[in-house]
Amino acid sequence: MGADQAGRYEAFTLKTMDRIRQLEGLSERRRLAMRAVAQVLPFRTNRYVTDELIDWDNIPDDPIFQLTFPQPGMLDPDDLARMMLLLRQSAPMMELRRAANEIRLKLNPHPAGQMEHNVPRLDGVPLPGLQHKYRDTVLFFPSRGQTCHAYCTYCFRWAQFVGMDELKFAQRETESFHRYLRRHDEVSDVLFTGGDPLIMRAWHLRAYIEPLLAPRMEHIRHIRIGTKALAFWPRKFVTDKDADTLLRLFEQVVASGRHLALMAHFTHPREMETPMVERAIERIRSTGAMIRTQAPLVRHVNDSPAAWASMWRRQVRLGCVPYYMFVERDTGPKGYFAVPLAEAHDIFRRAFSTVSGLARTVRGPSMSATPGKVVVHGIQQVRGEKVFILSFLRGRKQEWAGRPFFARYDESATWLDELKPAFDEDHFFFEQDTPPRRRQVGWE
Ligand SMILES: *Cc1c(COP(=O)(O)O)cnc(C)c1O
Q: What is the pLDDT of residue 1?
A: 38
Q: How far apart are CA 35 and CA 84, in angstroms?
A: 8
Indicate the helix (H) or strand (E) that contains 325.
Answer: strand 321-327
Q: What is the Cα–Cα distance from 376 to 385, expressed in whole angstroms?
A: 17
Phi-psi region of 87 (alpha: psi -120 to 50; beta: other; left: phi over 0): alpha
Phi-psi region of 357 (alpha: psi -120 to 50; beta: other; left: phi over 0): alpha
In 3-state terms, what secondary structure has residue 61? coil
pLDDT of residue 15: 66
Q: Is the CB of 366 under 6 A from ligand 1?
A: no
Beta bridge pairs of residue 296: 326
Ligand 1 centroid to Cα of residue 198, in Å, is 19
Q: What's the pTM value of the predicted model, to 2 decimals? A: 0.92
Report domain extents, the chain.
3-104, 113-288
Instruction: Determine the pLDDT at residue 112.
Output: 45
* DSSP symbols for 167-207: TTT-B--HHHHHHHHHH-TT--EEEE-SS-GGGS-HHHHHH
Predicted pLDDT at 146: 85
- Tens digit of pLDDT at every position of the chain (444 positions): 344 444 555 556 666 677 776 677 788 899 999 999 999 998 899 999 999 999 999 999 999 999 999 999 999 999 999 999 999 999 999 999 999 999 998 887 765 455 567 889 988 888 878 899 999 999 998 888 889 999 999 887 888 777 776 555 444 568 889 999 999 999 999 999 988 999 999 999 999 999 999 999 999 999 999 999 999 999 999 999 999 999 999 999 999 999 999 999 999 999 999 999 999 999 999 999 999 999 999 999 999 999 999 999 999 999 999 999 999 987 778 789 999 999 999 999 999 999 999 999 999 999 999 899 999 999 999 989 999 999 999 999 999 999 999 999 999 999 999 999 999 999 999 997 555 444 444 444
- Ligand 1 atom nearest the C-alpha of 323 is 9
Which ligand 1 atom sits closest to the C-alpha of 368?
A: 15
Strand partners, 292: 263, 321
The pLDDT value given to residue 114: 53
113-288 classified as CATH 3.30.1330.20: no
Give the pLDDT confidence score for residue 25 in this predicted structure. 76
Does the beta carbon of 134 lie inside 6 Å of ligand 1?
A: yes
- pLDDT value at residue 159: 81
What pLDDT does 103 receive? Answer: 94
Best probe residue, ligand 1, of 191, 220, 325 (max atoms within 8 Å of C-beta): 191
The three-state secondary structure class of 329 is coil
Give 441's contacts (C-beta < 8 A, 6+ positions apart): 108, 111, 112, 113, 114, 156, 329, 330, 331
Which is the closest atom of ligand 1 to the Cα of 324?
Answer: 9
